[in-house]
Amino acid sequence: MALRPHHPEISDEDDLDKRLELHGVSDELKKGGVDVCEAVGDEIRWHCGADEDFLIRMLQSHNGPPKPERPQVTFRAFFFKLSSYDRIYGPSSLHVSKPVLKALQAAGMPAMVLSAIYEPEGVWAKMGDAFFLDREAESGKVLSSNLSYRYTFGWDNSVSYTHFSRTLHLRTYFCMNYPAPARTRLETYLRRHPELVQREWFIDALAADEGLKAWQGVVGTKRRLLVDFERQRSRQSNMDAATEALHLLSRDWHTLLQDLSDFSAQLQFLRNSYAKYLNAFENSSQNRDEGGSSNIDESFEVLDSRCNIYRRWVVNYRDRTNIRINLLFHLANQASARTSTKIALATASVAEQTQRDSASMITIAAVTMLFLPGTFVSAILSSTFFQYDAHGLGVSNKWWILPATTLPLMVIVFAVWFWWQRVRIAKAEKLQREAKGEVGEDMGGGSSVG
């Protein structure tokens, strides 16, 4: 049976049941889905691939008081694996069975965290960070604290959840999809320096450090793309493809800036919660930070400073990307203007030539209309086939030679005229194709850019 929620106004258990029913939960624990680390006395024990019975026993003894005949367990961390998480299309899910899930709820796992894991809109509708203190009703003494938060570390990794519960006798972590590099570092540190298991919020700081490194890698990858674009000359690349790629890069900068802002806000939340945590347990004998003399808040402060540096550089890279987009836009406009000028000059030249040709043709036509009738009649009547004497007009019996020679000659003249027209049309089409080719070259690249 699940514990009564301390904050029922933000824990909708019915909604959780609907999501679990919709998503489906296995009846058996998936092999290798859960690893457990615990500190028993001065000994660090790892239980990798814990089976279902062992896991349920540990969860059921979670809130029990320590037994004097047994070494006291002061620390436990449960590392759960999540299914592959898609940043766009769907929620993640725990690799646990129904009995283990019920045991988790009975051990104090908030419904808010479990609901967030199965949230279908989890990409943007993120779980809020939460830090709660459970006090004794009469004296107001702090009995336990609970910390819950969600984080991401890069775009190639699944979303992660952490729930930390502190009682007077035991500190317990429930880590869903804990970063693999942080897990490796944790195992190495505890093997070399077992006392670090008592260092307050050590697991949270390790995850934050590795998460920030992952975001650093994303920024570095996108930065190299931007520098490559800045080093290219516009004639060496397709301007349309470059513009589209830069728009995608600009979108990534905006998304990355939001992710880093969320990460910075989470670091601030951890710092504020840690201060409340220390104040709540300042008189507790279990509040000794045996893992070192330094305060973990100093580490959070360094990480927050580094995160803000990354944010400022992302703003710089986003602005430089937009400058590059504007440059390509202006270069395209300049190329279009140069092409329009060339087309206008060519059009004016063609119009002027056409006007001159038209004037010549009109002149020839006018002169022809004036002289052709008289010339035609005079030419025929003045030929040797016609003779004028005192007896009248005489016609030779060889008159057929005139049409026999004139008609073929007329055909040849018309053929030459048609050929000349085709030559002129072909020349005009060639000039038009050359003009279109220059338009394509100007749109494909403008002046050089360093």
pLDDT tens for the chain, 450 residues: list them: 444 556 777 776 676 677 666 666 665 666 667 899 999 877 899 998 888 888 888 888 755 555 555 567 789 999 988 765 555 445 566 767 778 888 888 888 888 888 888 777 766 667 889 999 988 878 888 888 999 999 988 888 888 999 999 988 889 999 999 999 999 999 999 999 999 998 999 999 999 999 999 999 999 999 999 999 888 876 545 777 888 899 999 999 999 999 999 999 999 999 999 999 998 887 654 555 544 557 899 999 999 999 999 999 999 999 999 998 888 888 878 777 888 888 888 787 777 777 767 766 777 776 776 666 667 666 776 766 666 666 666 676 767 777 787 778 778 877 887 788 788 788 877 877 776 666 555 555 443 333
Q: List CB contacts of 112: < 8 A, sequence separation 6 or more.
A: 10, 11, 127, 130, 148
pTM over 0.75: no
Rounded Cα distance between 277 and 147, Å, is 10
Nearest by Cα to 209 from 300, 289, 277, 270: 300
Question: Token match 């002027």: residue?
Answer: 352
Q: What is the distance, to the nearest Å, from the Cα of residue 169 to the centroid of all Cα atoms in its chain?
A: 46
177 and 160 in contact (C-beta within 8 Å)? Answer: yes
Q: What is the dihedral of CA 421, 426, 427, 433, to 10 degrees?
A: 150
For the chain, residues classed under CATH 3.30.460 are 23-178
Write down the residue that tokens 């699940």 correspond to: 2
| CATH number, span 23-178 | 3.30.460
In angstroms, the CA 373 to CA 378 distance is 9
CA-based nearest residue to 265, from 316, 224, 208, 337 = 208
- Residue 119 to residue 247: CA distance in whole angstroms: 30
Q: Tell me how crowded residue 364 is: count the other CB atoms within 10 A of its CB.
A: 10
